[in-house]
Amino acid sequence: MALHVDIFTLFPEMFEGPLTESILKRAQEMGALSIGLHDIRDYTTDRHHTADDTPYGGGGGMVMKVKPLVAAIEAVVPPGEGVPVILLSPQGRVFTQAVAQELAGYGRLALVCGHYEGVDERVRELVITDEISIGDYVLTGGELAAMVVVDAVARLLPGVLGDPDAPDKDSHAAGLLEHPHYTRPPQYRGLEVPEVLLSGHAARIDEWRRRESIRRTWQRRPDLLLDAPLTEADREFLYTLAEEEIKRREEATDDEP
Ligand code: 4GX
């Protein structure tokens, strides 16, 4: 199914580069993805086109005004159709591949990019239906976060990635880090491509890749193993990794003076 994303921002020009290059460009050309960019300032009604104001209660900083934001969203997003209206903010639920998959199931989305200290709380109460954070760090605005969301969701839309058998679309590899990859030449500065990959033995290659995925995940992101769908053979390999690690630690302790 195709996806339409409406983006509300004070800086629509920021989106031009990322959306008009590479895969996101192709996704739009092939009709899988369409994007509406909406300048919140176009919905101001005062002489100076004021989109932000000082906070009630003081304390400094600026807050995005309720009227232009609500007017913009209500002018563009059809009411009562269940279109998610998502605010990008550090206070949102954390964006993961599972959230990207969830969003890729909609036909239409709206992304709202805040700036400064954020938005008047009544924007949330009136029009926001969901709030997403792309991670626990502070950006200067929601625009880059919105682009991350569009990028991660777009590549999940049918037909956008050429190969429907792309390795990470395979549920078998879901939730694990990728195994190492190699391409020609077979030797470079004394570094060799693992023999098994040159063997042409498909079953042994699959097993090697699976084990290297598990090894990497164990070394770098052991938290992911809690949710990854693992076979009994995967678990046995994990036990050998754990046993090797215990041996290494015992040897290190034996070496102590
Ligand atoms: N993942 N920021 C938004 C302003 C703001 C604050 C509150 C709405 C409500 C961020 C993130 C992020 C900084 C973008 C604060 N807007 N967005 N901005 N991390 O850090 O999404």
The pLDDT assigned to 253 comes to: 86
* Angle, helix 143-154 to helix 97-104, in steps of 10 degrees: 70
**Confidence band for 167, pLDDT divided at 50, 70 and 90:** low
Q: Are 9 and 143 in contact (CB under 8 A)?
A: yes
List of long-range contacts for 15-21, beta carbons under 8 Å, 24+ apart? 15/143, 15/146, 15/147, 18/147, 18/151, 19/147, 19/150
Q: Which amino acid is at 178?
A: E
How do residues 12-29 score in pLDDT, each as one tens digit? 999 999 998 889 999 999
Active-site entry in 155, 209, 210, 215: 155
CA 134 / ligand 1 centre spacing (Å): 9
pTM: 0.95
Share of the chain above pLDDT 70, in %: 96
How do residues 234-248 score in pLDDT, each as one tens digit? 999 999 999 999 999
Residue minimizing CA distance to atom 2 of ligand 1: 139
Query: What distance in Å separates the CA atoms of residue 237 and residue 227, rounded to the nearest whole number?
Result: 17
Residue minimizing CA distance to atom 12 of ligand 1: 139
- Nearest atom of ligand 1 to the alpha carbon of 139: 20
- How far, rounded to the nearest angstrom, does the alpha carbon of residue 94 sit from its chain's CA centroid? 9
- The CA-CA-CA angle for residues 106, 109, 113, to 5°, reads 150
**Confidence band for 219, pLDDT divided at 50, 70 and 90:** very high
